[in-house]
Amino acid sequence: MRTKEECLIRYKDGNLYCELADIWIDPSKPVKKALITHAHFDHFTFGCEEYISTKETAILLKERVGDNIKIKTFEYGEEFKINGINISFYPSGHILGSSQIRFIFAEEKWLISGDFKLQKDQTCKQYEIVKTDYLISECTFGLPIFKWDESNKIANDISKWITNSPEKTSLLFCYSLGKAQRLLNEISQTNFKGNIYSHGSIHKMNNSYRELGIDIKDTIKIENKKKIDELKGSLILLPPSLSKGSYLKNFKNIQTAFASGWMSIRALRKRSGYDKGFAISDHADWDGILEVVKKSEAKNVFFHHGDSDALSKYLVEKESINVLLFGK
């Protein structure tokens, strides 16, 4: 087994780092060069000298944080070289523009899965199976109790939830980027034909998606002074940060729900404080992670993001796959 220093990619100061290329992956503090897998804020930090990402990720990031950052972009599958290391992006199916990143050096392949899902999502490119020797995978939902339903089933449940209470305003909380657009896309294919409003942060992302050629239903930007009667029977998409505190006082006679993979567990659903939970996620479920591990043909696997003890033990015992520990 190799020492930490001998690995092409390793943990340094809590972040993924490739020393030979002197490049960081989704770093949490300012560095010289940063590869960005996707435009969620927990994968981005201000102050890096240079960012490298897919074209879509770059556009979404600039929309969110302003034009004041220097981003170099590459297409999916396009190879580029840094210090003799071949690097390329592949679709990870998480949100629009999200990518896996593959490194090849001295015929050895390393793959960082990024945040990924295998489920169908009409708002972004499908996950692409990439072969590798070393796999660094996320493990957010690394237990077999997580098994996602088809997203159209969830969308139908949401539609029923709204139409069953026509006298109420239905507030659906979800992440502004990715989840909201996927839900909009799915909900527009259900029987629910009422008005859909969205919070400014979501509205902005909807527009960006549309400009990038994704089919997203037009929503009405929610204004604070909307008349209560007009909202009856309609759906409002809001970011989770607004679920607590005074914002909800703007509405009367509401029902609330949260769209997240964690909502598949009753105890978490009850504790969340929302009336209802819809278990839909942009991360892979247990089977999804296993499939990627197997199809990537990786002989060595590392996990980060989430509690990977059970998954690691399972792979070692049942699949005889070498699971390595990253020293954080």
Partner 1 sequence: MSLKKFSELFGDLDSINSTNNKIEVLKNYFLSNDPIDNSWAIYLLTGKSNKRFISGRYLKNLFSQIYEYPEWLIDTCYLKVGDSAEVITLLLKNKTNSRKKKLSNIGLNELLSETIPALSKLNEENKNLEIKNLWETLPEDNHLIFNKILTGTFRVGVSIGLITKSISKLINIEEEIISHRLMGDFKPSIDSYEFLINKNINLQELNSKPFPFLLANTIEDKIFKNSINDFQFEWKYDGIRMQLIKRSGNVSLWTRGQELVNESFPELVEKMSHIKDDFVLDGELLVWNFKEQIAYDFSLLQKRINRKSPSRSIQLKYPIIFIAYDLLEINGRDIREIKLENRRIELEKYFSKWQNKTENNISDIFKICDLIFPKNWPNALTYKEKSRENNTEGLIIKKKTSIYSSGRKKGIWWKYKVDPMQLDAVLIYAKGGSGRRAGLYTDYSFALWKDQELIKFASAYSGLTNIEIKELDKWIRKNTIEKFGPVRSLKPEMVFEISFEKIQKSKRHKSGIAVRFPRITKWRKDKKINDADSLENAYELMKKIS
How many angstroms separate the CA atoms of 323 and 303, rounded?
8
Residue type, 283: H
Q: Is 270 in the site for partner 1 (CB under 8 A)?
A: yes
Q: Is 308 in the site for partner 1 (CB under 8 A)?
A: no
Q: Is 317 in the site for partner 1 (CB under 8 A)?
A: yes
DSSP assignment letter at 215? -
Size of the site for partner 1 (CB under 8 A): 24
DSSP assignment letter at 306? S
From the CB of 256, what's the least distance to partner 1, in Å? 10
From the CB of 248, what's the least distance to partner 1, in Å? 14
From the CB of 266, what's the least distance to partner 1, in Å? 6
Please give the full DSSP string across 242-284, using - where no structure is assigned: GSSSGGGGG-SSEEEEEE-GGGGSHHHHHHH--SEEE---SS-
Which of residues 70 and 313 has its CB atom nearest to partner 1 in the complex? 313
From the CB of 265, what's the least distance to partner 1, in Å? 6
Q: Which of 147, 252, 299, 328 binds partner 1 (CB under 8 A)?
A: 147
What lies within 8 Å, CB to CB, of 243 at 6+ separation is: 173, 256, 258, 273, 274
How many angstroms separate the CA atoms of 307 and 167, rounded?
42
Looking only at residues 126 through 145 of this chain, which bind partner 1 when binding is defined by CB under 8 A? Answer: 143-145
From the CB of 90, what's the least distance to partner 1, in Å? 27
What lies within 8 Å, CB to CB, of 170 at 6+ separation is: 161, 162, 234, 235, 236, 254, 255, 256, 257
| Sole residue written with tokens 């072969």 | 131
Which of residues 4 and 271 has its CB atom nearest to partner 1 in the complex? 271
From the CB of 52, what's the least distance to partner 1, in Å? 35
Q: Is 82 in the site for partner 1 (CB under 8 A)?
A: no
How many angstroms separate the CA atoms of 274 and 181, rounded?
21
Q: With CB under 8 A as the contact rule, which of the stretches 105-113, 130-138, 236-244, 310-318 interacts with partner 1?
A: 310-318
Burial tier of 69 (Cβ tally within 10 Å: 0-12, 13-18, 19+): middle
Q: With CB under 8 A as the contact rule, which of the stretches 31-39, 74-82, 209-217, 274-282 interacts with partner 1?
A: 274-282
Residues binding partner 1 (CB under 8 A)? 143-147, 264-271, 275-277, 286-287, 309-310, 313-314, 317-318
